[in-house]
Structure 1
Amino acid sequence: MRLTIFAASGGIGRHLLRQAVAAGHDVTAVVRNPASLADEPDGVRVVAADLATPDPAVLADAVDKADAVLSGLGPRSMAESGVASRGTREIVTAMRARGVRRIVVVSAAPISTVAAPGRPKPPPDPGEGPVMRYLASPLLKAVLRKPYVDLAVMEELLRDGGDLDWTVVRPPRLTDKPLTGTYRTAYGRSVRGGTVVPRADVAHCMLSVLQQPETIRQAVAVAT
């Protein structure tokens, strides 16, 4: 497949890049600083683009003829809150300009219960146990309010767009442990008891859903 990976030098994006190349895909990697991929596999087309101040023509060229777009975009600090929704909006605009429909993005496990403009009162997550629902999740949403709202807006952008074949992958706490390939998934809810997952497994899941039509227009939780 021809894949375009945004934020390909990030924690999940780098795993996406390496796994996609290892699987034989034709990869375009979009990063702010191409030098950050100097030690990555040969044969990857690297495009320099800053999604905070994007050039629409560069983004459109980056996704041109892609079978799918994958995004590991997310804030690296509180100061970057908003980057996921703003950047995804620019990516979607580029995709529409070139007729690309399939997109897979990474979000976060609690986002189904985070209020967004289109869903001011989201329902409870049936995958959350009592400890998560009444203690851990409220605490996380209080501490990470800005980045979580950003991700909720990003999801809403995809969900309400109507013309895209999107999949949102929602992991819990991320680790740097090696790929296991034995993670669990759940549609439309959190994975029961799933509190951590390696970034490598999130990348594996994001690539796997490209071969699973049933994941289109679905939020897929992933956890070990």
Structure 2
Amino acid sequence: MKLTIFAATGGVGGQLLTQALDAGHEVTAVVRNPSKISRKEVRVVTADLAAPDRGALESAVDGADAVLSGLGPRSSSEAGIAWRGTQAIVNAMQATSARRLVVISAAPVGTVPSPARPNPPKFDPGDGAFLRHVVYPILKTLLRKYYVDLAQMEDIVRESSLDWTVVRPPQLTDKPLTGSYRVAFEQNLPRGLHISRADVAHFMLRALERADTSRRVVAIAD
């Protein structure tokens, strides 16, 4: 397949790039710093999604069989990059022939208010008492701007006309690829505390071949 990967030098994005190339896909990588791309078989498009160039993004996604995004804020100061960057990606896809989009979000986001979902469920049905009452309240306080950004990003994706999938992992690790993990639709996974970036990327690529992930939110965890 012809794939376009955004944030292709990040934690998940880098795994997407490596696994997609190793699987024989034709890849366009959209990055801020092209010097971080070492694979010679990659078409590289330089773009800063904090100040997107419409022409560059349309060129990057035009003709792609699928677009995958590892975009997300790396710190509180970058909050807003996910929804603004994703809006630019969606606009570029809607202006071209690209239709399939897979993005990464986060497990707590289903209970975070957003403009399109001002009154989300108080608890995710897949979360146990420890996550509901201890872990996620702390995380939502410490990472409030991060999760609000991702919640707004999900709004943009859901409201688009694209064939989308939102992937919500819990805490990400740098453990190696296993290809062995659990998934659930529209709710978190019981005792789903961790997942490696490599396994998240593996599922995002597999989702392209799964019709049941179309226009769905999918949780993933070890």
Relative to the length of structure 1, the TM-score reads: 0.97
Does structure 1 retain, via aligned residues, the 8 Å contact 2:64–2:97?
no
Identity of aligned residues (%): 59
Question: Which residue number corresponds to residue 144 of structure 1?
Answer: 143
What is the letter of the counterpart of residue 82 of structure 1? G
In structure 2, the partner of 1:51 is 49
How big is the shift at 1:139?
1.1
The aligned length equals 221
Alignment of 1:30-49 (within 5 A): 30-37=30-37, 39=38, 41-49=39-47
Q: Which amino acid aligns with 2:158?
A: R
Structure 2 partner of 1:77: 75
Three-state SS of the structure 2 residue aligned to 1:125 is coil
SS in 2 for 1:211: coil
Write the letter of the residue equivalent to 1:134.
Answer: H
CA deviations 1:30-55 (Å, max 9, x no partner) are 00010011x2x331101100011111
Aligned to 1:2: 2
Deviation at 1:160, TM superposition (A): 1.6
Match of 2:129 in 1: 130
SS at match of 1:189: coil
Query: Aligned partners of 1:99, 1:47: CA distance in 2, in Å?
Result: 18
Show CA shifts across 1:137-192 (max 9, x none): 1111111100100000000111122x111000001001001001101111001111
Residue type of the partner of 1:21?
L
Q: In structure 2, what is the Cα distance between the partners aligned to 1:159 and 1:138?
A: 25
Written as runs of structure 1 = structure 2, the 5 A alignment for 1:46-195 is 46-123=44-121, 124-161=123-160, 163-195=161-193
Return the alpha-carbon distance in structure 2 between the equivalents of residues 125 and 26 of structure 1.
Answer: 38
- The alignment partner of 1:159 has SS state of helix
Question: What is the rounded CA distance, in whole Å, between the counterparts of 2:162 and 2:170 in structure 1?
Answer: 25
The 2-side partners of 1:119 and 1:98 are apart by 28
Q: Which residue of 2 aligns with 1:24?
A: 24
Unaligned runs of 5+ in 1: none
| Contact 2:6 2:30 survives alignment (8 Å) | yes
Equivalent-residue separation in structure 1 for 2:19 and 2:40 (angstroms): 13
Alignment partners' CA distance in 2, 1:91 and 1:211: 21
* Alignment RMSD: 0.7
State TM-score, norm by structure 2: 0.98
Give the Cα separation in 2 of the matches to 1:121 and 1:98: 34
